[in-house]
Structure 1
Amino acid sequence: MKWEKLKPPEPDDPMCCCECDIYQYGCCCEDLDEAFNRWLKDKPSKGGCQCPVLGAVIEHLEISMIPALLLLPVLLRLAALHYLLGIIVLTALPGLVLWYYYATHRRKRRTLFFLTLALYSLAYMYYLFITEILPRGDVSQLQVFAATAGMIFTIVSLIYTKRGPGFVTASLQKAHAVDQTSKKDSALRDGSTQPAELQAAKHTLAAKWSRCAVCRILRPPRAGHCRTCGSCVRRLDHHCIWINSCVGQANHRSFLLTLCVFVSTSLYGISLVLCSLCPRQYLMTALFYCPGVYSQSSTALCFTCAWYSSIITAGLLYLLLVQVLNISFNVTEREAQLALRNKTGQSRLWGLAVDTGEFSRGFFQNWVEFLTMTDASVSPRSSSTDLV
């Protein structure tokens, strides 16, 4: 067996036995088939479950298929009954979301749950804003137009982000081979007239192209393999669960724009709701002290939804801050994690950013490179059906 087959995968993502050709007759990922075999042979399951088939079905159940859209309004209305219930529900919701994120991330499985939750939360908050806040007469038509435009702009930028992160395709590999061939021909024609330093630089740039240990494709510098999507992505940043796709060279700028628009729209909508519910309170303190808000069910529900939106906005604001800092140091999230794991980077700004020192050329030049980088060609796998 060649060394290339035994070459370790991406260090930030362990290889499953299904992807290694050593295990040709057994795959640890076929949990459902294994459970049926144990059930037919009347053998106890590994985890001690009384019904292995049911356990495997639950393990592979897609939560986004469960009517979670109906569960969110019920929980929010339950939280609006009393402020103690609100504290319990709004504390449990992020915990459940983080638990499900850990469960899906550990199994490297794509899921529509987070994208569905984000879109439905945005639509439900806007519905309550139109039906509960707008009739109170405290919001002008211009403010309604601004909030509506922000929501539409968020969805449009999200759709543009979902076009694809820029998968490494065979056409890109062929273009690189043709480019290398043309460079060699020009070098042979030039002969000794070409400086030795320039030739060494070209050879160094060509050497940065590496072959993926999983999909066996030749990929450009800073590309990475995403096991959740099953492909290599140019300038891979991370796999974002909120868009159910990777963030790479082709959609990184639109992803950052989506975060900026969503956070701005959410903060603006929360301020409008709090100014309408608590007109006598300061905006910074209205979220913590708003007397009489639980006297009516409608105002209590809007106040609870303002808290729910604030929790989501705080999480996405942190993600936006990390993205801005990474771009300022010209490092992707994947490169930052690898640098921390290999102890080759330095933590900056209280651990919010990691400076690898490999690609950084200064704050201004890093942002110029990010804003002017060419979009990678969208992979044929990224079609209009990938909008979800």
Structure 2
Amino acid sequence: MKGYNSSTEGLCCCEYENSQGERSHILACCCDCEAFDQAADRCLTCQRVPKGTMEKLFKTVEDRCRLPGIMGQGAVKVRLDVMVPVVTIPTCLFLATLGPVMTFLMLLAMPIFLLWFYRLWKRNTKRENTLFFFSWGLMSVVTVFVVFESCVVGFREILLWEHLLLLTAMFLMFYNFVKTKLNVPYLKSSKRQRSFANTIQSDRRVVYPDESVKVSLEEMTTEDLSESDVKWLDSRPISDGKLITWCQSCNLRKPPRSGHCNVCKACVSVRDHHCVWIDACIGADNHRSFLLSMMLFVFCGYYGAHLSMTTLCTPKMYFDWFLFANDCRFLYIDLQTAASFVITCYSLLAATCMLFGLLFQFLLISQNLTSQEFHVASKRNLLKHGLFATQNVYNQGFIHNWFNFWMTGRSDTRTSVISL
């Protein structure tokens, strides 16, 4: 299997060239793995596995993790951080159908195992950019949707308009997620820099609702400004007692409210945060679509769970309008019913976690604040009651903040100031 150059002979669908340039086969993935043998011996003798051995093991596993190819170029390499959620989620959800105890254990153990693996993978591969959480989220949504359509809808208890409403909400959710991922407002071109310079010339001085904090845009964009002179809440970093407005990585001057993302390797206009679940930064141009997708995700999770439970359990009508589950004694009577109940529980957990993030976004938008600015305010002790930022020069009041967010969107400066 080894010892000759594959470039002189074609590869079959299950063959590949490993990292040493040798020809190998998928079925030999467990053969001659010195790092695996050393790690197994250490674990069996209850000894700590050396860091170098773990790094070598992860490199070997990633090199041998492949699927048969159909393009005539041999087996296709699969990313380990993508493959683990794809295998783990359906397996754990299937085991959860064995009974109520297994449902509780699997829904508890699955996220713990995935987070443990992610930490182990990141520590041994030293990679910042990963599709692990994107794979986790996408595989969860696909699994829940397939089980719902094949099992829950199969009971024929859901009305047509209810089914269409849920499908429409899911379509809009995916549309807004894709829109969010494709419209990341990176700061790269000189055109954006010239636009910002024109903004400074047109708005020489601004007045904010808090009269105790007055600052010109020239001061907000001045390089080497002392930390003591930064009297406003600024998202840009302060290093060595000075406000840093020049990004060495991107070779551009960062306007107010922007930030550099170490994962995307770029500066983002009005950066809120980097969302690992869609593997994209949230900023000025995609924040609204991101918020809409979060709202639709929560709606689909709770509404889908409601439809599932009123299908699986004997429902009861309240106030001649609200239908709720009443008798739920037969949730594990067969695989179809158990699978429907398990994905309902999983949907409720996911929707509840998303709901907390959505409420946090509502809090930030109500103050015209970004997550990055909130983090800076926490570090500079500019938070009141741990929730409300002080010295926030962008806050124009609850109604005006929401109007700007939905109607005009957040920009670098102009949507956040009042010109004289």
Same topology, TM > 0.5: yes
Per the alignment, residue 54 of structure 1 pairs with 57
Q: Quickly say closer, same or farther: Cα 1:50–1:354, change in 2 above 3 A.
A: same
The 2-side partners of 1:280 and 1:53 are apart by 56
C-alpha distance 165-102 of structure 1, shift in aligned 2 (>3 A): farther
Q: CA deviation at 1:271?
A: 0.3
Deviates more, 1:104-113 or 1:153-162: 104-113
Counterpart pick for 2:271 among 211, 223, 236: 236
Query: Residues 249 and 178 from structure 1, CA distance in 2 versus in 1: closer, same or farther, beyond 3 angstroms?
Result: closer
1:32-111 → structure 2 map (5 Å cutoff)? 47=50, 49-50=52-53, 53-55=56-58, 62-66=79-83, 68-99=85-116, 109-111=128-130
1:120 corresponds to which residue?
Answer: 139
| Rounded Cα–Cα distance in structure 1 between residues aligned with 2:256 and 2:407 | 17
The within-5 A match list for 1:293-308 is 293-308=331-346
Distance in 2 of aligned mates of 1:116 and 1:202? 42
Kept in 1, the 8 Å contact 2:89–2:139? The answer is: no
State the AA in 2 paired with 1:221.
P
Counterpart selection for 2:362 from 324, 335, 345: 324
Residue number among 191, 194, 216 corresponding to 2:251 in the alignment: 216
Counterpart of 1:203 in structure 2 is 218
1:141 equivalent to 2:143? Answer no
TM-superposed CA distance for 1:309, in Å, is 0.9
Residue in structure 1 matched with residue 403 of structure 2 by the alignment: 368
| Residue 175 of structure 1 pairs with residue 175 of structure 2 | no
What residue in structure 2 maps to residue 355 of structure 1? Answer: 389
Mapped partners of 1:245, 1:303: distance in 2: 32
**Contact kept? 1:104, 1:110, Cα under 8 Å:** no
Q: Distance in 2 between matches of 1:116 and 1:305?
A: 18
- Is 2:219 the partner of 1:164? no
Q: How many residues align?
A: 315
**Which amino acid counterpart does residue 318 of structure 1 have in structure 2?**
F
Question: How far is 1:111 from its partner?
Answer: 1.8
The worse-fitting range, judged by mean Cα deviation, of 152-161 and 131-140 is 131-140
1:183 Cα deviation from its structure 2 partner: 5.8
1:24 is matched with none
Q: Percent identity?
A: 27
> CA–CA distance in 2 between the matches of 1:216 and 1:234?
15
What is the distance in 1 between the residues matched to 2:274 and 2:332?
40
Alignment check: 8 A CA contact 2:170 2:297 kept? yes
Uncovered stretches (5+) of structure 1, i.e. residues with no partner? 1-31, 33-38, 40-45, 187-199, 378-388
Q: Tell me the distance in 2 between the aligned counterparts of 1:78 and 1:176.
A: 56
1:227 paired residue among 249, 252, 262: 262
| Deviations, residues 33-83 of structure 1 (Å, cap 9, x unaligned) | xxxxxx9xxxxxx94544753255569994343263243222111111011
Please, what TM-score do these two structures have when normalized by structure 1? 0.71
Q: Where does the alignment leave 5 or more consecutive residues of structure 2 unmatched? A: 1-18, 20-34, 36-48, 66-78, 205-214, 224-243, 413-420
> Which TM-score applies when normalising by structure 2?
0.66
Q: What amino acid sits opposite 2:303 in the alignment?
A: Y
Whole-angstrom CA distance in 1 between matches of 2:278 and 2:51: 36
User: Counterpart of 1:66 in structure 2: which amino acid?
Assistant: M
Q: SS state of the match for residue 66, structure 1? A: helix
Q: Deviations over 1:9-44 (max 9, x none)?
A: xxxxxxxxxxxxxxxxxxxxxxx9xxxxxx9xxxxx
**Letter of the 2:286 counterpart:** N
In 2: Cα distance, 1:179 partner to 1:366 partner: 20
Question: Counterparts of 1:356 and 1:97 in 2: how far apart (Å)?
Answer: 38
Flag the 1:365–1:52 CA change in 2: closer, same or farther, 3 A: closer
Aligned-residue offset at 1:203: 3.2
Q: Distance in 1 between matches of 2:221 and 2:309?
A: 57
Tell me which of 349, 371, 374 is aligned to 1:336: 374
Q: Which residue does 2:13 correspond to in 1?
A: none
Once superposed, what is the RMSD of the aligned Cα atoms?
3.4
Shift, 1:165, TM fit: 2.2
The AA in structure 1 aligned to 2:102 is L
**Larger relative contact order (Cα-Cα within 8 Å, sequence gap ≥ 6):** 1
Per the alignment, residue 9 of structure 1 pairs with none
Contact preservation (8 Å) 1:328, 1:366? yes
